[in-house]
């Protein structure tokens, strides 16, 4: 981890800004879904169909956008750019889009899909809620909690950074890239 003070604080702030950007996209998709529901189209989808549409319309575009931004020239999402952070290989040069996609697949797509499947199941079930659904809901909430806690313990690298071989470093405020 970078020796620049406040990197963890800046990561949290950058993450909140990135979440706000994601919320904008989700609002656009939700508005389209509302219109499709009014037209009677969305109401005909099965739980599987709802999950596929949610993954294709929300999870995939957000995960790919984050991966391309972090693996590209500026090595940062909009939040990370704003707070002077870059995503790099833990031992080496630029992360690259492949590793950045892996990083965001673990960081964003996996917990989001668990949560989405749980939410759709909770919304569409007519009977009692079974144990499997409660476990799935718990897992979808626990994964992001582990990620946040890991920012404050040990080497401050969450599991997705360990798997992708990445780290987040601070840069001088005026710099857009480390090169």
CA distances from 94 to 66, 87, 98 (A): 15, 8, 11
Percent of the chain with pLDDT over 70: 93
* Contact in structure between 63 and 109 (CB atoms under 8 Å): yes
pTM of the model: 0.86
Q: Which pLDDT value is given to residue 176?
A: 56
Tens of pLDDT, residues 20-62: 999 999 999 999 988 988 888 777 888 899 899 999 999 999 9
Place of tokens 């009692």: 128
Taking only the tens place, the pLDDT of each residue in 114-132 is 999 999 998 888 888 889 9
Question: Helices 7-38 and 60-71 meet at what angle, rounded to 10?
Answer: 150
């Amino acid at each position: 981890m970078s020796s620049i003070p406040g990197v963890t604080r800046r990561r949290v702030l950058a993450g909140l800004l990135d979440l706000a950007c994601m919320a904008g996209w989700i609002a656009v998709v939700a508005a389209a879904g509302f219109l499709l529901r009014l037209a009677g189209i969305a109401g005909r989808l099965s739980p599987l169909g709802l999950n596929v549409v949610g993954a294709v319309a929300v999870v995939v575009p957000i995960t790919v956008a984050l991966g391309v931004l972090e693996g590209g020239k500026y090595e940062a999402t909009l939040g990370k750019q704003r707070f002077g952070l870059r995503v790099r290989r833990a031992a080496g040069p630029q992360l690259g889009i492949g590793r950045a996609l892996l990083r965001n697949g673990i960081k964003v797509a996996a917990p989001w899909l668990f949560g989405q499947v749980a939410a759709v199941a909770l919304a569409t079930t007519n009977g009692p809620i079974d144990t499997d659904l409660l476990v799935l809901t718990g897992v979808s909430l626990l994964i992001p909690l582990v990620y946040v806690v890991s920012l404050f313990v040990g080497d401050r690298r969450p599991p997705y950074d360990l798997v992708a071989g990445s780290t987040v470093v601070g840069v001088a405020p005026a710099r857009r890239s480390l090169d």
